[in-house]
Amino acid sequence: MQKTIAIIGAGLGGLTLARVLQTHGVAATVYEGEASATARAQGGLLDIHEETGQAALRAAGLYEEFLTLVRPGEDAKRVVDRHNTILLDRAADPRTVRPEVDRGELRRLLIDSLEPGTIRWGHRLDSVRCRPRGGYDLTFAAGHAVRADVVVGADGAWSRVRTLLTPAEPEYSGTCFVEIALGSDGRTHRAGVAAIGSGTLMAVAPGKGIIAHRYADGRVRGYVALNRSEEWMTSIDFGDPSVGLRQVAGEFEGWSPLLTAFVTESEAEPWLRPIHALPVGLGWERKMPGVTLVGDAAHLMSPFAGEGANLAMFDGADLAGELVGRRDVEAALTAYEERLFPRGRDAAGRSARNLETFFGPEAPGSVVALFDHT
C-alpha cells in the first residue's frame, strides 16, 4: 500500500493497528497528544480475552511476549455486601483463558514493538480537514501540520476524528468513579487487605460500590462507584484530598469500617471520573473516504463487560488485515466496518446491562448471580 496512514492516538487500539501494519511492511505514523509514554498512569489490570485481545496479539506477533506479562492468580473474585459478609468467593483459575495483565505493561510491549519514530509524541490533534482532491490536512495543537490519505481515529472517548463521521457524542451513564489505592505496607492496612482476598473485592449495593484489587506485591488499587448526578459531582471538593474523600465516604454510611477505610485511607490522588458511553449500536455511512475509527472512538462503553481494551486491539488488528489484504482502501474500510458495528453493538449492550447488574436495585445478589453463570 502506497497510501499515507495517520493513526490518531497511541492507546492499545492504535498501537496494535500500527504494529500489524508494520509486520506486513506497511508504514503508518501514530500521533499522540501526550508528551511521552510515561506522561500519565495507564490504569490497572486487564483480562485479555482469547477470541479478541489474544487474537489481536497473535496477529501482531506478540503473543509469546504477552505471556511473560501475565499475572497468575490475580483473577480471584470476592463479592460482599455492605457489612462485608462474603456472598461469593471464587479462587483464581490457573487454567483461565482470560489471563490478567497490567495495562501499562501491555501498552509498553506494543510501543517497544514499533519501529523508532513511528509515534510522534506531543501531537494533540486540533483539526482534520478534507482536501478537495482527496486526503486530509491534519493540524496539531502546537501548530504542526501533516497530510494523510487514510486517517484512523484511535483517539478515545472524545475523538476529534469521529466528528467527521457522526455527530454522536458520549453520554453520561449516571455512574461515576473515584480512584482509590493503598500502598504495599501491609502493616498499615493489614485488615483491609485481608478482606480483599487474593484478587478483586466487589462490595456492592444499589447505586454504589467499592471495588479493590490486591496485587501480588501488596499494593491495592481500585475505585469507588456511585450513581450520582453531574450536579452532585461538582459538590465534591478535592482541593483538599482528605476532605473530598471524607465526602465520598459519607455516601457509605452504615457500611463496614473495613470497607470505608479503602476510601478514607486512600493514598491515590482522588479525581472524579464520570463514566460515559456512546449510543449502543452506533454506526455511520461511508461518506468520508479514507476515514474510520477503532476502540473507544467507535464504541465507547462502561468497563462492565471487560471488552473495551480487548475490542480496541481486535479492531486494530482487523482493520490492519483489511488494509494489507485489499488494494482498494474504501473496500477495506467497508469490510472492516461491516464487522465493527455488530461487535461493538453486542459488547456495548452487555456492558450497559452489566452496569445495571452491578449497581441496580438487585445488587449485590445480581452480581453473585452474574458470576455464578460465567
Buried-state track 217-239, b at ≥16 Cβ within 10 A, e below 16: eebbbbbbbbbbeeeeeeebebe
In this prediction, residues 59-75 reach a mean pLDDT of 92
Question: What one-letter code names the amino acid at 265?
Answer: E
The pLDDT-based confidence of 53 (bands split at 50, 70, 90) is very high
Lowest mean pLDDT among 93-102, 158-167, 244-253: 93-102
Percent of the chain with pLDDT over 70: 97
The four Cα atoms 143, 145, 151, 156 give a dihedral, to 10 degrees, of -10
Q: How many CB atoms lie under 10 A from the CB of residue 181? A: 19
Residue 328 is labelled as binding a ligand? no
The pLDDT-based confidence of 8 (bands split at 50, 70, 90) is very high
In eight-state DSSP terms, residue 253 is T
Instruction: Flag whether pLDDT at 2 surpasses 80.
Output: no
The pLDDT-based confidence of 248 (bands split at 50, 70, 90) is very high
Check residue 1 and give its pLDDT. Answer: 61
> Residue 225: beta bridge partners?
177, 209
Check residue 119 and give its pLDDT. Answer: 98
Instruction: Flag whether pLDDT at 210 surpasses 60.
Output: yes
In this prediction, residues 251-268 reach a mean pLDDT of 94
Instruction: Flag whether pLDDT at 253 surpasses 90.
Output: yes
In eight-state DSSP terms, residue 364 is T
Residue 47 is labelled as binding a ligand? yes
Tens digits of residue pLDDT in 279-289: 999 999 999 99
Lowest mean pLDDT among 109-113, 155-159, 180-184: 180-184
- Classified by CATH at the fold level, domain 172-275 comes out as D-Amino Acid Oxidase; Chain A, domain 2 (3.30.9)
Nearest Cα neighbor of 164 from 178, 153, 175 is 153
Instruction: Flag whether pLDDT at 185 surpasses 70.
Output: no
Percent of the chain with pLDDT over 90: 79
Alpha-carbon torsion 31, 32, 35, 41, what sign?
A: negative
> Residue 178: beta bridge partners?
224, 272
Residue 137 is labelled as binding a ligand? no
User: Cα Rg for the chain, rounded, in angstroms?
Assistant: 21
Determine if residue 247 is left, alpha or beta; phi over 0 gives left, psi from -120 to 50 gives alpha, anything else beta: alpha
Residues 364/322, Cβ–Cβ less than 8 Å: no
**How far apart are alpha carbons 237 and 243 in whole angstroms?**
7
**How far apart are alpha carbons 54 and 8 in whole angstroms?**
23
**How far apart are alpha carbons 221 and 269 in whole angstroms?**
12
Q: The C-alpha cell of 90 is what?
A: 471464587
Check residue 360 and give its pLDDT. Answer: 95
Residue 185 is labelled as binding a ligand? no
> Which helix (DSSP H) or strand (DSSP E) does residue 241 occupy?
helix 241-249
**How far apart are alpha carbons 124 and 120 in whole angstroms?**
10
Residues 49/310, Cβ–Cβ less than 8 Å: yes
pTM of the full predicted structure? Answer: 0.94
Instruction: Flag whether pLDDT at 136 surpasses 80.
Output: yes
Superfamily of domain 5-72+96-170+278-359 in the CATH hierarchy = FAD/NAD(P)-binding domain (3.50.50.60)
What residues does each domain of the chain span? 5-72+96-170+278-359, 172-275
> Residue 78: beta bridge partners?
89, 201
